[in-house]
Amino acid sequence: MVARTKRARIADVAREAGVSKTSVSFAFNSPERLSVATAARVREVADALGYRPHPVARMLTQKSTMTIGLLTPQVLSAVFANPFFATLCGGVAAVTDQAGYGLLFVSPLHGSLVRALGRATVDGFVAVGLSEDHPEIEQIRRAGIPMVLVDGDAFPEHGSVESSDELGARAAARHLVGLGHREFVVVGIEPPNMPGLFEHSPGPTETVTSRRLTGYRQGLELGGIALADERIVVGPATFDGGVAAFRRVWEDELRPTAVLAMSDVMAIGVIWAAREAGLRVPEDLSIVGFDDLDIAPHANPPLTTVHQPIRQKGEESAKLLLRMIASPDLERPEHRVLETRLIIRASTAAAPAKSKAAAL
């Protein structure tokens, strides 16, 4: 037997097993091309020699990296600071782990997502929150790499998974209108490089933000309420983003009795800032979030919000991508829309008879 003082090579295994180097490769990469006995003998010899296929060489042989990329326009520090992304990534990872795939996070490199994309060696992408306006999406399309878009535009050749954002937002607005509220503010998520988001007709490129805004407008209009543009304040989907948004509302002397926030973490930031301004929630100000994160029922007060199945969204996107990778000629990838529903908790109540906010 070959001494174990150096790394065993494929030629060592072939010689000891009495087979060709091609047969050794088949034993690890395509065992169905060998007899059961031959494949078992090769692996037994490889174990005895301590041989393991080099990962790069194996990748080239299989023409597969066994890795999928999770593409996001936000830097990783922002991604992991947002509980939404952590839950979504958990769903993706549960599927890739079970399928034996690795997961590579691809985020802007030195401010450029296109630059980061050039260094990503993966079999396909789950792209989160990206639209056709982003150059990296077109780059992936031209390269013919399988891709599933989460909360983005649906292309015929790529899969997509999203939530019924418009319907969920409409239900949130109607809930508050039904409680007698007339003075509203919307705290929206600020997407990068998306001018003119708050037109009444969002246009061909629809984002989570524009879909939710459309739903809010529809729900309010059913109650005879028109949402003025100055009552839409945007910021990053973080606690601090919610705090800053409500502070701007207060500085602009807007005095809402109800706030529709496009994310739970922003809604909780709004609650904190409202208390800072001397308001009680929900007696003076009702607040509805969006997501139904694990923290929502434990907020103070427990947060009324729109539930979307975040983990399922991650799972479905990963399953769809793996099906596309396994069947490159799949003509019609799936486009899934997951249901949302309103969860009523203690952060909403009937509109005050006399707005304390207006008096402050």
Beta bridge partners of 102: 67
Question: Both 35 and 14 in a single domain?
Answer: yes
Question: Both 169 and 101 in a single domain?
Answer: no
Give domain status of residue 3, yes or no. no
Look at residue 64 in the predicted model and tell me its pLDDT. Answer: 74
Look at residue 213 in the predicted model and tell me its pLDDT. Answer: 96
Mean pLDDT by 10 residues, the chain (360 residues): 59 90 78 85 86 54 77 79 90 95 81 67 87 73 84 79 97 98 95 40 57 97 95 93 96 96 97 97 98 97 98 96 85 87 98 71
Look at residue 63 in the predicted model and tell me its pLDDT. Answer: 62
Question: Both 110 and 252 in a single domain?
Answer: no
What's the pTM value of the predicted model, to 2 decimals?
Answer: 0.79
Give domain status of residue 288, yes or no. yes
Nearest CA-CA partner of 173 in 283, 292, 304, 272: 304
Can you say whether residue 278 is alpha, beta or left, with left for phi > 0 and alpha for psi between -120 and 50 degrees?
left
Nearest CA-CA partner of 171 in 294, 3, 292: 292
Look at residue 31 in the predicted model and tell me its pLDDT. Answer: 77
Look at residue 194 in the predicted model and tell me its pLDDT. Answer: 39
Q: Any idea what the CATH number is for the domain that residue 117 is in?
A: 3.40.50.2300
Look at residue 271 in the predicted model and tell me its pLDDT. Answer: 98
Give domain status of residue 20, yes or no. yes
The size of the chain, in residues, is: 360
The runs of H, that is alpha helices, within the chain are: 10-17, 21-29, 36-49, 55-62, 76-81, 83-99, 113-117, 135-143, 165-178, 208-222, 239-251, 264-276, 310-326, 356-359
**How many domains in the chain?**
3
Beta bridge partners of 126: 70, 148
Residue numbers of the domain that contains 303: 165-308+342-359
Give domain status of residue 4, yes or no. no
Look at residue 357 in the predicted model and tell me its pLDDT. Answer: 58
Look at residue 39 in the predicted model and tell me its pLDDT. Answer: 86
Question: Both 180 and 257 in a single domain?
Answer: yes
d(CA 27, CA 283): 70
Question: Both 174 and 287 in a single domain?
Answer: yes
Question: Both 265 and 140 in a single domain?
Answer: no
Question: Both 231 and 187 in a single domain?
Answer: yes
Question: Both 333 and 250 in a single domain?
Answer: no
Question: Both 154 and 281 in a single domain?
Answer: no
Q: Any idea what the CATH number is for the domain that residue 43 is in?
A: 1.10.260.40
Give domain status of residue 316, yes or no. yes
Give domain status of residue 267, yes or no. yes
Question: Both 76 and 146 in a single domain?
Answer: yes
How many CA atoms are closer than 13 Å to the CA of 307, on its beta-carbon side? 11
Give domain status of residue 1, yes or no. no
How many CA atoms are closer than 13 Å to the CA of 308, on its beta-carbon side? 30
Question: Both 215 and 302 in a single domain?
Answer: yes
Give domain status of residue 2, yes or no. no
Question: Both 42 and 155 in a single domain?
Answer: no
